[in-house]
C-alpha cells in the first residue's frame, strides 16, 4: 500500500507505522487518520508481522487533531463510518464518534500495538497513545490534553482507565500536561527512557516481544481486553460522543474558543485557553 501522510515498513516481524506530517507536528487530519487505520489493518493481515509499532517523524509525536483554519482536517473524505445525514448531523457528533471508532481499531486488533512517543503528545495524540497496548515515551516528552480547559471533553474517554481516580480527575479537570517520566510513574504509560536512548530501548523491547508467537500474543491481548470490557470499558467509551456533543454545543460558552479563533486567530484563542495556567506556572 502507498501512503501520503505516514511511512510504512516491515522488518524482523515488526510493522512500523510512522506519522509523517512533521511540518504540522503530525496533527491528525482526516487523511492521516484514514491512512493510519488502513496501515493497522494491513499489518494485522500480514502473517510476517507479529508486532505493530507507531512512532512519528519530526520534533513532536502528535499535536492533536488538526484544527487550524487553513488545514482543519475536516476537508476531504471523512473517517470510516461517518454518517452525513440531516437526521444525525446536529446531535450525534460524528467527529467524536469517528475518533473513538478509529482508535478502537487499535484495541480490537489481534496483534499488539506499541507506541513510541517523543516531544509533544497532546489531545488527540494522547488518545492514540493511550489506546495502544504498550506505550514507551521519552522522559522529557510533554503529554496532556489542554483543550479540556476551554473547548470540550475528550473524544475518547480513556482517563479513568489509564490511571488512578485522583490522577484522572486532576488531569481531566485541569487539562495540565505531565512529562513522560511522570506519565510512567503514574502508570499512564509502560516505561519512559532518556530521549537519546528512546529508539534503542524501545526497539529492544519490541524485538523481544516480536519473538513471541502471534497467536499467543493475540490470546494474551484479547484475554486482558475482555476483562476490561466486562468492567465496562467499551460501554464507557461509547458515551464519549454524547459528552463531547454536550460540551461542544449545548453548554454556555461552548463556542467561545472558535469565535476567538475566527476573529483574532488561533494563537489568540490558545492564549485565552492556556494563558491563565501559564501564569500560574503550568506550561501546557
Q: Which CATH number goes with the domain that contains 14?
A: 3.90.226.10
Q: Which residues contact 1 (CB under 8 A, 6 or more apart)?
A: 8, 38, 39, 42
Q: In the numeric block, which cell numbers belong to residue 151?
A: 473547548
Sheet containing 177-179: order of strands: 120-122, 142-144, 177-179
Q: Is residue 29 part of a domain?
A: yes
Structure confidence by residue, pLDDT tens digits, 91-110: 889 999 999 999 999 999 99
Q: Is residue 219 part of a domain?
A: yes
Instruction: Please tell me the distance from the alpha carbon of residue 116 to that of residue 131, in angstroms, as a whole number.
Output: 13
Q: Is residue 188 part of a domain?
A: yes
pLDDT for the residue numbered 272: 94
Domain range for 179? 6-279
Q: Is residue 193 part of a domain?
A: yes
Which DSSP string corresponds to 134-150? EEEEETT-EEE-GGGGT
Q: Is residue 206 part of a domain?
A: yes
Structure confidence by residue, pLDDT tens digits, 117-153: 999 999 999 999 999 999 999 999 999 999 999 999 9
- Specify which residues 193 forms β-bridges with: 138
Residues of the chain with pLDDT under 70: 68-76
Buried b (16+ CB within 10 A) or exposed e, 21-32: beebbbbbbbbb
Q: Is residue 156 part of a domain?
A: yes
Q: Give the Å distances, CA to CA, from 253 to 17, 76, 180.
A: 39, 29, 33
Overall number of domains in the chain: 1
Q: Is residue 95 part of a domain?
A: yes
pLDDT for the residue numbered 72: 42
Sheet containing 14-19: order of strands: 6-11, 14-19, 51-56, 113-117, 134-138, 191-193
pLDDT for the residue numbered 70: 44
The length of the chain in residues reads 284
pLDDT for the residue numbered 75: 55
Q: Is residue 1 part of a domain?
A: no
Amino acid at each position: 500500500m502507498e501512503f501520503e501522510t505516514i511511512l510504512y515498513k516491515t522488518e524482523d516481524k515488526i510493522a512500523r507505522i510512522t506519522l509523517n506530517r512533521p511540518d504540522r507536528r503530525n496533527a491528525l487530519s482526516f487523511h492521516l487518520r484514514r491512512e493510519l487505520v488502513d496501515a493497522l489493518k494491513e499489518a494485522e493481515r500480514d502473517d510476517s508481522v507479529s508486532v505493530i509499532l507507531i512512532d512519528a517523524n519530526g520534533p513532536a509525536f502528535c499535536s492533536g487533531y488538526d484544527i487550524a483554519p487553513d488545514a482543519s482536517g475536516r476537508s476531504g473524505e471523512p473517517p470510516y463510518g461517518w454518517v452525513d445525514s440531516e437526521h444525525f448531523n446536529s446531535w450525534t457528533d460524528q467527529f467524536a464518534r469517528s475518533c473513538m471508532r478509529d482508535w478502537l481499531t487499535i484495541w480490537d486488533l489481534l496483534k499488539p500495538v506499541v507506541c513510541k512517543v517523543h516531544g509533544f503528545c497532546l489531545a488527540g495524540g494522547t488518545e492514540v497513545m493511550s489506546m495502544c497496548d504498550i506505550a514507551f515515551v521519552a522522559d522529557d516528552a510533554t503529554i496532556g490534553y489542554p483543550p479540556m480547559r476551554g473547548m470540550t471533553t475528550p473524544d475518547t474517554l480513556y482517563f479513568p482507565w489509564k490511571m488512578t481516580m485522583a490522577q484522572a480527575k486532576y488531569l481531566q479537570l485541569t487539562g495540565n500536561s505531565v512529562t513522560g517520566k511522570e506519565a510512567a510513574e503514574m502508570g499512564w504509560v509502560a516505561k519512559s527512557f532518556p530521549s537519546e536512548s528512546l529508539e534503542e530501548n524501545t526497539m529492544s523491547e519490541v524485538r523481544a516481544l516480536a519473538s513471541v508467537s502471534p497467536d499467543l500474543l493475540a490470546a494474551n491481548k484479547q484475554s486482558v481486553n475482555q476483562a476490561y470490557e466486562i468492567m465496562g470499558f467499551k460501554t464507557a467509551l461509547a458515551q464519549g460522543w454524547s459528552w463531547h456533543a454536550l460540551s461542544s454545543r449545548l453548554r454556555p460558552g461552548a463556542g467561545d474558543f472558535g469565535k476567538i479563533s475566527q476573529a483574532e486567530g488561533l494563537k489568540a484563542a490558545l492564549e485565552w485557553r492556556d494563558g491563565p495556567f501559564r501564569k500560574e506556572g503550568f506550561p501546557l
